[in-house]
Amino acid sequence: MSTASGHTTDPNQVLVQLKQQLVALERKVASQDCEDEIEQCETQIKGLSDEIRILKARTGDTKASVKIQTPNTFNRERNKLEHFLSECDIYLATKLGITEVKKVIFTESYLHNTLDSINTRSCLLD
């Protein structure tokens, strides 16, 4: 995603750009002898590091992430259909950027030997 000025608004792309700027500034600090420029670069590096940390927190790019159990396979018990769909919704809610079609395909993959998969597909797409 880009703005009219050509700047990207995708947090992952911004993160990559910030990391590249950080590396470039670190190289500049290593090659410069001028103390004023080194201090300025160190300040910029700290600011970029803070921005990277904030973006990681905002995009969920952290070491400790919540692990959600995959849904149990649905096996023809109509009274358990709503529970099964709720399990799928909870699991899929943790998957960012997944399309509706992929959600349907994922959910159908847990329908075990059932003719309800066709009816469920139409319900899920509504």
What is the rounded CA–CA span in Å between residue 11 and residue 21? 15
Closest CA to 41 of 53, 31, 28, 52: 28
Average pLDDT, the chain: 76
Number of domains in the chain: 2
Length of the chain in terms of residues written = 126
Sorting pLDDT into bands at 50, 70 and 90, what band is 42?
confident
Query: Is residue 95 situated within a structural domain?
Result: yes
Most confident of 7-21, 24-38, 86-100: 86-100
Q: Within a domain: residue 70?
A: no
Tell whether 82 and 117 lie within a shared domain: yes
Paired with 8 in beta bridges are: 2
The amino acid that residue 117 corresponds to is S
| 35, two tokens | 């103390």
Residue 90 is assigned to a structural domain of this protein: yes
Q: Is the pTM of this model over 0.75?
A: no
Does residue 2 fall inside a structural domain? no
Residue 3: inside a domain: no
pLDDT in tens, 62-100: 555 678 888 888 877 888 888 988 999 888 888 877 888
Q: Is 105 among the domain residues?
A: yes
* Average pLDDT for 29-45: 74
In a domain, 38, yes or no: yes
- Assess whether 45 and 18 both reside in one domain: yes
Kindly tell me if the per-residue pLDDT of 48 is higher than 70: yes
Residue-number span of the structural domain to which 98 is assigned: 78-125
